[in-house]
């Protein structure tokens, strides 16, 4: 905290506290929620009497969920102009237990790969300063005891409910004490706290597991399902969709989309999603963002006609937007170049031939929101894919005054949240899927507005094993956008069986990203059975407990995971053999999450096993020939 005199310092001392049932909302920010029976909140009031600054430390305890939600609110009760230069949402101090630091790292098309290293003396951190949360690093940090696995060991974990810049840091000091912190990154951040104003920091979630990563994951999954996601789709099957992006890219028109819809309907697919290229003069990615008017040369008859035709075929309709962006080649930019984030007097940096709209400006927020809303009001559209395809740079705002420029990153995120809050309120039945060049903004903050997020632009089934493992470390399977795409895969060139692609996508939202009119006949004939498979198992996948049994990321040979019903009445296990090893016997797998005393029948066979046999003795996976082949095993209890 820096005062008007220029000195930097803050000495806050405990003044009072109070405990209340329930949990208050955070103004303008996503946050967890719960009833008075589910959560109790401790508020510790601290003051710096010299600065006349009040700091409220809030701890909301969800006892049954093994979760604490922590946030900080700062109130300037004086007249002096204060400047917040650093504010963290969580801090834990403890003795070292020879901790290892666990984070999620990656990049575009390689998101959320688990990273683990010994915590050494000094500060170790992960962070984002790109204006989004989760391509290269992720707003998550865990400290674990040595030899911690998915089943054993102690885990102290934090996850940030925020979609912008963050810092997650662990420090081992000279006294062998450890400090963990999580909050908004201090890089390019400074907030003006004038007299009578307050600043609300985002929420951090803290949990502890004494049963390894597995218990931590299940705690986060249940918490997000019960106390973060608000969508009416939370406990519903999502419609099986087909997206035209990898099928056509920008080369489509009404008839091409209707051809896809007709063929998809025959196969049991339930929704057609029209991706990028339907507006302005957008025949490639170098123009028209901001000009959200239907291109009637492509969409002949207009959008309403197309939607009605798709619905007559018997399918729902979805549409793609990128509302936060503006193309230099657009009518909007020609009319309002000042609406793009840029440094005055300097040439702005283009990425993907686009700039970022300045969402710190309420006029821009209103315009961007209305672009989406007017389209949704014009036709019966059931689904929106909300994309964001570049990071923020060249930070400058024509709207903010000179002393407020370093507020831009945070104000941008607040503007985004405002738009999505308005969207879910005006269109409460809309299925919203967030996206940011794939998984660049896959975080708990976005789940507050959308029940699912596109997991990665990399749809290769083998690559998805590691991406979805890292994502499922924190987030429910039902939140992970996952599709069956064409082969050779458009990104990696890898060829995998249509069956394996379906099995991997099943443990996500499940859909298709291909031209169903052109794929091999044998693949097309498999789609009805895959759709049937989705409807049969989705309730279990969506609501059950997730167990990681083996990791291809670790062993480089095979992947295995399982979802068990809460009442242990059934379990669905997926085994993916990535690399076939010749002259090798079957693989013994020990299941998890079953009732030891119950008798389980393996579906499709006459074989039965007790839960104890399956978990302690193991189940043998027979030898399979070929790379990237997979099997599903459904065990049903006979109580």
d(CA 149, CA 152): 5
Q: d(Cα 144, Cα 53) in Å, to the nearest integer?
A: 36
Number of structural domains in the chain: 3
Look at residue 505 in the predicted model and tell me its pLDDT: 98
Is 233 part of a structural domain of the chain? no
Same domain assignment for residues 521 and 565: no
Considering 543, 563, 591, which residue would you say is the last residue of a domain?
543
Helix (H, G, I), strand (E, B) or coil at 413: helix
- Residue 586 inside a domain? The answer is yes
- Give the pLDDT score at 489: 96
Tell me the β-bridge partners of 563.
Answer: 546, 572
Share of the chain above pLDDT 70, in %: 100
What's the whole-number mean pLDDT along residues 392-408? 96
Q: Evaluate whether residue 301 is within a structural domain.
A: yes
Q: pLDDT per residue over 270-284, tens digit each?
A: 999 999 999 999 999
Residue 254 structural domain: 241-543
459 lies in some domain: yes
Cα dihedral: 286, 288, 292, 297 (round 10): -90
Tell me if residue 15 is catalytic: no
- Name the pLDDT band for 409 (thresholds 50, 70, 90): very high
Sheet hosting strand 511-513, strand order edge to edge: 480-481, 452-454, 431-434, 383-386, 316-321, 271-274, 241-243, 511-513, 484-485
Q: Are residues 392 and 435 in the same domain?
A: yes
Whether the pLDDT of residue 366 is over 80: the answer is yes
422 token code pair: 């308005």
Q: Which pLDDT score, from 0 to 100, does residue 534 have?
A: 98
Q: pLDDT band at residue 166, thresholds of 50, 70 and 90?
A: very high
Does residue 585 surpass a pLDDT of 90? Answer: no
Contact assessment for residue 155 and residue 166, using Cβ atoms and an 8 Å cutoff: no
CATH code, domain with 509: 3.20.20.70
Inside any domain, residue 418: yes
DSSP assigned state of 559: E
* 3-state SS record for 261-311: HHHHHHCCCCEEEECCCCECCCCCCCCCCCCCCECCCCCCCCHHHHHHHHH
Q: What local confidence, expressed as pLDDT, does residue 582 receive? A: 87
Residue 5 pLDDT greater than 90, yes or no: no
Q: Is residue 2 part of a domain?
A: no
The dihedrals phi and psi of 121, each to the nearest 5 degrees, come to -65, 140
The confidence score (pLDDT) of residue 269 equals 98
Of 245, 251, 247, give the one whose Cα is nearest residue 297.
Answer: 251
Q: Do both 444 and 533 map to the same domain? A: yes
For residue 577, give the CATH number of its domain. 2.60.40.1180
Q: Identify the domain boundary among 543, 572, 589.
A: 543
What pLDDT score was predicted for residue 506? Answer: 98
pLDDT for residue 454 is more than 80: yes
Backbone dihedral region for residue 440 (phi beyond 0: left; psi -120 to 50: alpha; all else: beta): alpha
* Active-site residue (options: 66, 275, 457, 458): 457
Q: Side-chain half-sphere of 461: how many Cα atoms within 13 Å? A: 31
Residue pointed to by tokens 């391509």: 135
Cβ atoms < 10 Å from Cβ of 440: 30
DSSP letter at 312? H
Whether residues 200 and 302 share a domain: the answer is: no
Tally of CB atoms within 10 A around 382: 21
H or E stretch at 417: helix 408-426
**Range list of β-strands (E), 316-405:** 316-321, 325-326, 355-356, 383-386
Give the mean model confidence (pLDDT) for residues 134-143.
96
CA of residue 371 relative to chain centroid, distance: 24
Average pLDDT over residues 186-215: 97
* Residue 503: inside a domain: yes
Residues 536 and 555 both lie in one domain: no
In terms of Cβ atoms closer than 10 Å to its own Cβ (0-12, 13-18, 19+), residue 335 is exposed
User: What local confidence, expressed as pLDDT, does residue 73 receive?
Assistant: 98
- Tell me the mean pLDDT in the region 1-21: 92
Average pLDDT of the segment spanning 610-620:
97
Contact 577, 557 (CB under 8 A): yes
Cα separation of 506 and 501, whole Å? Answer: 9
CA-to-CA distance for 24 and 43, rounded, in angstroms?
Answer: 11
What pLDDT is recorded for position 497? Answer: 97
**In the structure, what pLDDT confidence band is assigned to residue 639 with cuts at 50, 70 and 90?**
confident
Please check whether residues 121 and 137 belong to one and the same domain. Answer: yes
Question: What percent of the chain has a predicted confidence (pLDDT) above 90?
Answer: 97
Residue 467: count of CB within 10 angstroms of its CB = 26
Residues 321 and 420 occupy one common structural domain: yes
Same domain, 146 and 213: yes
pLDDT tens string 104-119: 999 999 999 999 999 9
Q: What does the pLDDT average to over 459-476?
A: 98
CATH number at residue 206: 2.70.98.60
Output the pLDDT for position 546.
98
User: Among the three residues 227, 254, 288, which one is the final residue of a domain in this structure?
Assistant: 227
- The residue annotated as part of the active site, out of 222, 358, 387, 559, is 387
- Whether residues 424 and 473 share a domain: the answer is yes
Concerning whether 387 is annotated as a catalytic residue, the answer is yes
pLDDT digits (tens, 9 = 90+) for 81-134: 999 999 999 999 999 999 999 999 999 999 999 999 999 999 999 999 999 998
Same domain, 489 and 595: no
The average confidence (pLDDT) of the chain is 97
Please give the residue that has the higher pLDDT: either 3 or 383.
Answer: 383
The DSSP 8-state label assigned to residue 330 in this structure reads S
* pLDDT tens per residue across span 485-543: 999 999 999 999 999 999 999 999 999 999 999 999 999 999 999 999 999 999 999 99
- Residue 380 predicted with pLDDT over 90: yes
Return the residue matching tokens 């308005």.
422
Q: For residue 266, is it within any domain?
A: yes
Decide: 363 and 419 in contact? Cβ < 8 Å. Answer: no
- Whether the CB-CB separation of 327 and 339 falls below 8 Å is answered with no
537 lies in the same domain as 552? no
Residue scoring higher pLDDT (366 or 582): 366
Whether 591 and 627 share a structural domain: yes
DSSP state of 54: E
């Amino acid at each position: 905290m820096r005062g008007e005199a220029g000195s930097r310092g803050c000495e806050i001392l405990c003044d009072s506290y109070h405990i209340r049932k329930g949990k208050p909302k955070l103004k303008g920010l996503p946050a967890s929620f719960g009833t008075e029976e589910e959560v109790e909140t401790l508020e510790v009031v601290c003051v710096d009497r010299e600065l006349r600054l009040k700091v409220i430390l809030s701890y909301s305890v969800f006892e049954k969920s093994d979760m604490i939600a922590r946030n900080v609110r700062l109130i300037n009760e004086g007249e002096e102009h204060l400047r917040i230069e650093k504010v963290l949402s969580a801090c834990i101090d403890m003795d070292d237990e020879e901790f290892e630091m666990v984070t999620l790292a990656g990049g575009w098309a390689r998101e959320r790969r688990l990273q683990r290293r010994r915590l050494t003396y000094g500060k170790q951190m992960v962070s984002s300063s790109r204006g989004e949360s989760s391509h290269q690093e992720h707003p998550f940090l865990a400290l674990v005891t040595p030899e911690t696995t998915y089943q054993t060991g102690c885990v102290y974990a934090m996850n940030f409910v925020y979609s912008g810049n963050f810092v997650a840091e662990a420090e081992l000091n000279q006294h062998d004490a450890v400090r963990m912190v999580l909050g908004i990154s201090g890089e390019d951040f400074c907030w003006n706290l004038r007299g009578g104003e307050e600043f609300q920091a985002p929420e951090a979630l803290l949990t502890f597991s004494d049963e390894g990563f597995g218990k931590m994951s299940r705690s986060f999954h249940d918490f997000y399902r019960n106390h973060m996601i608000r969508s009416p789709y939370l406990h519903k099957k999502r419609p099986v969709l087909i997206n035209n992006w990898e099928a056509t890219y920008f080369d489509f028109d009404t008839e091409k989309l209707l051809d896809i819809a007709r063929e998809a309907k025959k196969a049991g697919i339930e929704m057609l999603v029209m991706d990028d290229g339907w507006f302005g003069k957008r025949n490639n990615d170098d123009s028209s963002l901001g000009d959200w008017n239907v291109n009637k040369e492509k969409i002949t008859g207009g959008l309403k006609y197309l939607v009605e035709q798709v619905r007559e075929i018997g399918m729902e309709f979805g549409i793609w937007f990128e509302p936060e962006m503006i193309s230099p080649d657009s009518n909007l930019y020609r009319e309002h170049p000042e609406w793009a984030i840029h440094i005055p007097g300097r040439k702005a940096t283009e990425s993907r031939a686009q700039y970022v709209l300045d969402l710190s400006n309420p006029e821009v927020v209103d315009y961007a929101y209305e672009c989406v809303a007017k389209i949704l009001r014009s036709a019966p559209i059931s689904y929106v894919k909300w994309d964001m395809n570049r990071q923020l740079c060249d930070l400058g705002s024509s709207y903010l005054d000179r002393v407020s420029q370093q507020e831009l990153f945070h104000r941008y995120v607040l503007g985004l949240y405002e738009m999505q809050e308005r969207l879910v309120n005006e269109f409460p039945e809309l299925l919203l899927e967030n996206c940011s060049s794939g998984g660049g903004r896959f975080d708990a903050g976005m789940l507050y507005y959308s029940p699912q997020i596109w997991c990665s632009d990399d749809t290769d089934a083998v690559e998805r094993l590691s991406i979805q493992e890292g994502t499922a470390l924190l987030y429910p399977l039902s939140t992970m956008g996952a599709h069956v795409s064409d082969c050779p895969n458009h990104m990696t060139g890898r060829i995998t069986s249509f069956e394996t692609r379906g099995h991997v996508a099943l443990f996500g939202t499940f859909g298709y990203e291909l031209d169903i009119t052109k794929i091999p006949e044998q693949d097309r004939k498999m789609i009805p059975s895959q759709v049937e498979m989705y409807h049969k198992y989705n309730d279990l996948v969506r609501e059950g407990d997730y167990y990681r049994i083996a990791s291809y990321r670790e062993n480089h040979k095979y992947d295995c995971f399982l979802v068990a019903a809460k009442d242990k009445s059934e379990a669905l296990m997926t085994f993916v053999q990535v690399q076939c090893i010749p002259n090798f016997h079957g693989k013994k797998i020990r299941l998890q999450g079953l009732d030891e005393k119950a008798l389980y029948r393996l579906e499709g066979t006459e074989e039965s096993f007790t839960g104890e046999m399956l978990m302690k003795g193991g189940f043998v996976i027979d030898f399979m020939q070929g790379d990237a082949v997979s099997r599903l095993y459904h065990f049903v209890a006979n109580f």
